[in-house]
Amino acid sequence: MNELLENTIFLIAAAATSGYLFGSISNARIMHWFKTGSFQVKPINEPIPGTDLYFASDSVSATVTNINLGTRFGILTSLLDVAKVALPTLIFKLLIPEAPYFLITAACGIVGHVYPLYHRFRGGRGESPIIGAMLVINWFGIIITNLAGMVLGYLTGSILVMRYGWYVLSIFWYWIYFCDIWYVGFMVTANILFWTAMSKDLAKFAALKKEEDLAVAEETVSEFLLMGKSPGRFLDKYGLPASVKKAFRKEK
């Protein structure tokens, strides 16, 4: 056993394989089977609030489960997606804390979620697995980068920046906090996986806006992202761009 533990190639393979196989577990499909008796997840085709348009997505995720089955199943799916990456990452971190094998486990867990082996490589976008990995690697970094993302969202007046900006900010946080290429490499990889998976949805939404020449309020986007209306309404009224516009109007 000691010889195996000292074998770098074996440990890399074990870390990558275990992370990927656990990450490939599709909790969204399991929840749908539990509720409906079928592993088939119905693609969403949701109306965009305040418009006559619909947004379609084939993502297999906690968000889709929330829309199809309700909040309770959506939250449970998200927690299970967090755990399926967090647990194997934690095991490798506890067993071999002096080496970055657990980062390989975490990264491959996210790969498994986005491109699951068991389901023809069609999975989710990776939000919950990234959170699961970060909870083990640097839990308070999630809080810090989310707060920074909220500030950046306020400065830009964008609910999308407020919701997703912290992923990009986490790269800089890992760079500053760890000063280690392995940690930075993990976060860069996580971002590439997430934004690649999200690119289809973002492109569809951008195409809808361009086609219909929509001036979508942040409140509408916030509601559509299941964040509630309040964050978007706050940005529409008090975000920095909105405040600057109000100031210029008063001067005129």
Give pLDDT tens digits for 210-240.
Answer: 655 556 677 777 777 777 788 888 888 888 8
Give 118's pLDDT tier (boundaries 50, 70, 90): confident
A 10 A CB-CB count for 88 gives: 25
* DSSP-assigned letters across all residues of 139-182: HHHHHHHHHHHHHHHHHHT-HHHHHHHHHHHHHHHHHHHH--HH
What is the percentage of the chain residues whose pLDDT exceeds 70? 87
Q: Domain coordinates of the chain in residue numbers?
A: 2-251
DSSP bridge pairs for 57:
44
What pLDDT, on a 0 to 100 scale, did the predictor assign at position 251?
Answer: 62
Residue type, 176: I
Q: Could you report the per-residue pLDDT of 26-58, keeping only the tens digit for each?
A: 999 999 998 888 888 887 777 766 666 666 777
What is the percentage of the chain residues whose pLDDT exceeds 90? 53
Cα angle for residues 112, 116, 120 (degrees, 5° grid): 155
Instruction: In whole angstroms, give the CA distance from residue 76 to residue 16.
Output: 26
Average pLDDT score over residue span 131-138: 97
Q: Could you report the per-residue pLDDT of 143-164, keeping only the tens digit for each?
A: 999 999 999 999 999 888 999 9
Cβ neighbours of residue 7 under 8 Å, at least 6 residues apart? none
Residue type, 219: E
What pLDDT, on a 0 to 100 scale, did the predictor assign at position 57?
Answer: 76
Give 1's pLDDT tier (boundaries 50, 70, 90): low
Structure-token match 């909040």, residue found: 71
Is residue 13's pLDDT more than 80? yes
Cβ neighbours of residue 197 under 8 Å, at least 6 residues apart? 59, 114, 123, 124, 125, 126
Instruction: In whole angstroms, give the CA distance from residue 107 to residue 218.
Output: 32
* Residue with more model confidence, 35 or 187: 187
